């Protein structure tokens, strides 16, 4: 009897182990992979047909996964939109920080600033990135609006931190002044980019970068002590 009980327990343990892994992939890894497939599909659909026009049927068709797997990671389509936006912005910020780190060796402001602008406009040259990060997220809900505002503020703070590091003898500005200068630069950058996007990229990327660079260099000059 004891041997039969031990054999039964061993069988249950083996079954549990089989449930936990499949082809060497754990349950949590499979969930993460399915979540990533929905994010990739979301970026594809939100970036083309738009958030409001995307349906669950379209998502499941593109991922070849059922509704059940969508709801194991997301509560609704807004949750997926947030995940897509955060994924795009996290990847962009990583690329931007790498570019700024490489450019920090230069002393000339234009050489320090241009790589960051190139990174931003290169990202905006992807219509899906541009549409999701600066169009589809607007006006969806208070939650998404707060997320967009926070990311914009973080972007502005990063720009101002880097910009002031390009000035050796700079004016002493209050945190409020720095915040509003950063917001003004961010606004001009995003508006310029969206004009470019909506024109279907009529101007060359170099012309667009040069225009924004002039604004940034002007700001650097204003930050210098007279």
pLDDT in tens, 132-149: 999 999 999 999 999 999
Residue 226 confidence (pLDDT)? 53
Are the CB atoms for 121 and 208 separated by under 8 Å?
yes
* pLDDT confidence band for 170 (50 / 70 / 90): confident
Residue 35, token pair as written in the block: 């979540």
Whether pLDDT at 196 is above 70: yes
CA distance 124 to 200: 11
CA distances from 94 to 19, 98, 110, 120 (A): 37, 6, 21, 11
pLDDT in tens, 21-53: 666 778 889 999 999 999 999 999 999 999 999
Between the two ends of the chain, the Cα-to-Cα distance in Å is 94
* pLDDT confidence band for 20 (50 / 70 / 90): low
Q: Where are the domains of the chain?
A: 24-74, 77-226
Residue 123, token pair as written in the block: 């990202």
* pLDDT confidence band for 218 (50 / 70 / 90): very high
Determine what percent of the chain is predicted with pLDDT higher than 70: 89
What number of CA atoms fall less than 13 Å from residue 214's CA on the CB side?
Answer: 6
Domain 24-74 in CATH 1.10.10: yes
Positions of E strands within the chain: 21-22, 25-26
Least confident of 6-20, 25-39, 46-60, 184-198: 6-20
Show Cβ contacts of residue 51 under 8 Å, excluding neighbours closer than 6 positions: 77, 81, 136, 137, 140
Residue 133, token pair as written in the block: 């990060």
CATH superfamily to which 77-226 belongs? Tetracycline Repressor, domain 2 (1.10.357.10)
pTM of the model: 0.86
């Amino acid at each position: 009897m004891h041997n039969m009980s031990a054999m039964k327990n061993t069988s249950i343990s083996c079954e549990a182990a089989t449930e936990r892994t499949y082809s060497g992939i754990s349950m949590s890894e499979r969930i993460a992979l399915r979540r990533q497939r929905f994010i990739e599909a979301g970026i594809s659909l939100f970036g083309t047909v738009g958030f409001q026009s995307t349906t669950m049927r379209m998502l499941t068709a593109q991922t070849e996964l059922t509704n059940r797997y969508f709801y194991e990671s997301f509560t609704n389509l807004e949750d997926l939109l947030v995940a897509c936006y955060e994924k795009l912005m996290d990847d962009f910020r990583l690329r931007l920080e790498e570019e700024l780190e490489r450019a920090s060796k230069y002393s000339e402001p234009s050489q320090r600033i241009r790589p960051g602008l190139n990174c931003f406009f290169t990202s905006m040259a992807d219509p899906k990135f541009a549409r999701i990060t600066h169009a589809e997220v607007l006006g969806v809900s208070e939650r998404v609006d707060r997320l967009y505002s926070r990311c914009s503020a973080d972007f502005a703070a990063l720009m101002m931190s880097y910009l002031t590091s390009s000035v050796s003898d700079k004016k002493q500005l209050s945190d409020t002044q720095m915040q509003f200068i950063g917001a003004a630069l961010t606004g001009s950058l995003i508006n310029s980019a969206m004009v470019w996007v909506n024109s279907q990229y009529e101007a060359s990327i170099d012309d667009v970068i040069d225009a924004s660079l002039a604004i940034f260099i002007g700001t650097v000059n204003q930050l210098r002590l007279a």
